[in-house]
Amino acid sequence: MTEVTEDFFASLPDRAPAVLRSPVSGTIRIDLSTGARTDHWRVELAPGQVRVSRSPEPADAIWYSSVDLFERLVTGRTQGIAAVLRNESTFSGNLTLFLIFRHFFPDPPGTRDPREVAREQAGRSR
């Protein structure tokens, strides 16, 4: 397991209040594979909080990914939905949990909020 991935999961509880604002709750298990080895991360989501464990226990949703792809996700070099649509990873179970969990991933490097760009352009035209 890469240090980037370990750091990502370790950061989730502190980041949860800002990310998990909806009333949705449930468990998502992320199965990360490399070669013949699979590491399991079980994330319990609740409004404003997260609990992370290294457990293969059943969950409401399961996301299967390679370690390499997941590292690209946690560094913002690719997007979760795009990876699933390209069949680079698979997802089963409660789709809402996947859609919520993806908000923990950073935006691609250099991405800016379009409202911020519009404000800057409006300020220059004055």
Domain boundaries, the chain: 3-124
Type of residue numbered 79: Q
Q: What is the pLDDT of residue 126?
A: 66
Residue 7 — very low, low, confident or very high, per pLDDT cuts 50/70/90?
A: very high
* Average pLDDT in the chain: 91
At residue 31, the 3 state secondary structure works out as strand
Higher-pLDDT residue of 44, 111: 44
Q: Give the mean pLDDT of 42-70.
A: 96
> Could you tell me the pTM of the whole model?
0.83
Higher-pLDDT residue of 58, 112: 58
Question: Which CATH number does 3-124 carry?
Answer: 3.30.1050.10
Q: What is the pLDDT of residue 80?
A: 87
Share of the chain above pLDDT 90, in %: 71
How far is the C-alpha of 42 from the C-alpha of 58, rounded, in Å? 9
Length of the chain: 126
Q: What is the pLDDT of residue 55?
A: 94
Other C-beta atoms closer than 10 Å to the C-beta of 38 total 12
Q: 63 Cβ partners below 8 Å, 6+ apart?
A: 28, 29, 30, 31, 89, 90, 91, 98, 101
Q: What is the pLDDT of residue 110?
A: 76
**Residue 115 above 90 pLDDT?**
no
